[in-house]
Amino acid sequence: MTRTAMIAGAGYAGLAAAAVLARAGWRVTVYEADPEPRSVGAGLYVHGFVHDALRKTGAYDDFMRGAFKPAAHCVYIDGARQSNASTDGNITTTTRAALHVALIDAARRAGVSIIGGSRAVAADPRGALILADGTRLAADLVIAADGVRSTITQTLDIPITRVAHQDGITRILLDRDGLRDDKWNSIHDFYDYRGRPLRVLYTPCGADAFYFCLMAPITDLEAASVPIAGALWTARFPDLAPALRRVGNSGR
Ligand SMILES: Cc1cc2nc3c(=O)[nH]c(=O)nc-3n(C[C@H](O)[C@H](O)[C@H](O)COP(=O)(O)OP(=O)(O)OC[C@H]3O[C@@H](n4cnc5c(N)ncnc54)[C@H](O)[C@@H]3O)c2cc1C
């Protein structure tokens, strides 16, 4: 008998679970609160075990077509380079949107139905997902993949502890046009503790895109501000100035 899974949330977790189950013969429906599945964020790193997981979803080939392998991982402290290690092809980067699209396509190819504009509000441990319009969807398996603030998990009375980070992170995805020579094919991770602690992580995440993480304590209102305080960041990290100057008003 075909087993049925109802999944709330068409983010990475929901789509990956959906694709794997559908490929194993389950009938799977994903209910997404937004009208269409959409990706937030900039770029990401994909490490060893995630490659294995992606193979199981059927999204791997699409994912790898758009992915990037940075040449080296360079770390700097207070302006001095500490390491320049070859990645030996072991680090893969991509844009979040590219991975999301690969997972959506893989899930659909496997026969998953993705229904947008459907907010789930609860799960019944006896085997049902409940939608905001009152629809009760019986299932052999219900997956709450509705994100870090999961409504569904809260209805199940599962204890959750959240701890707020003391560092603010501004993430930005930008065009690599003109930044394609060797230097910009590597990861550059700058820590600077002189005066005020700041960190910039530059990550090439495709032939056409790079990803910045700008980190500062949330109490440093100038450094943590968005749009970024461009003069402050370029003065502190002159090696990255050509890339930092592109940030302008983007970032969040
Ligand atoms: C602003 C921001 C920027 C980020 N940037 C990065 C980054 O650059 N790189 C990185 O690696 N990580 C980033 N992260 C972290 C990353 O987003 C998460 O780790 C990842 O998205 C978690 O995937 P998920 O599938 O568990 O949840 P989500 O990606 O949160 O997906 C949950 C899905 O469920 C849907 N949903 C929510 N509630 C319901 C409901 N009640 N019913 C139905 N659907 C629902 C949502 O619309 C969403 O589509 C960022 C996070 C935030 C908040």
The ipTM, to two decimals, is 0.93
Nearest alpha carbon, ligand 1 atom 11: 44
Put residue 144 in one of left, alpha, beta given phi > 0 → left and psi -120 to 50 → alpha.
Answer: beta
The runs of H, that is alpha helices, within the chain are 12-23, 48-57, 60-66, 96-109, 151-155, 230-236, 241-244
Q: Is the CB of 16 under 6 A from ligand 1?
A: no
**Choice from 30, 101, 131, 146 to test ligand 1 binding pocket (greatest atom count within 8 A of CB):** 146
Nearest alpha carbon, ligand 1 atom 15: 41
Place of tokens 């009375």: 157
Q: Where in the chain is the domain with CATH 3.30.9.10?
A: 164-244
Q: Where in the chain is the domain with CATH 3.50.50.60?
A: 4-67+95-155
Nearest alpha carbon, ligand 1 atom 31: 11
Per-residue b/e over 228-251, b at no fewer than 16 CB within 10 Å?
bbeebbbebbebbeebbebbeebb
3-state secondary structure (DSSP) of residue 50: helix
pLDDT value at position 251? 60
C-beta neighbour count of 89 within 10 angstroms: 9
Nearest alpha carbon, ligand 1 atom 3: 41
Residues of the chain with pLDDT under 70: 251-252
* 164-244: CATH class: alpha beta
Q: Separation of 23 CA from ligand 1 center, angstroms?
A: 24
pLDDT value at position 86? 93
pLDDT digits (tens, 9 = 90+) for 74-92: 999 999 999 999 998 889 9
Q: Separation of 127 CA from ligand 1 center, angstroms?
A: 25
pLDDT value at position 56? 97
pLDDT value at position 252? 62
Q: Which fold has domain 4-67+95-155?
A: FAD/NAD(P)-binding domain (3.50.50)
Q: Is the CB of 131 under 6 A from ligand 1?
A: no
Q: Is the CB of 41 under 6 A from ligand 1?
A: yes
**Choice from 6, 7, 12 to test ligand 1 binding pocket (greatest atom count within 8 A of CB):** 12
Q: Which among 228, 204, 192 has a CA at the least distance from the CA of 67? A: 204
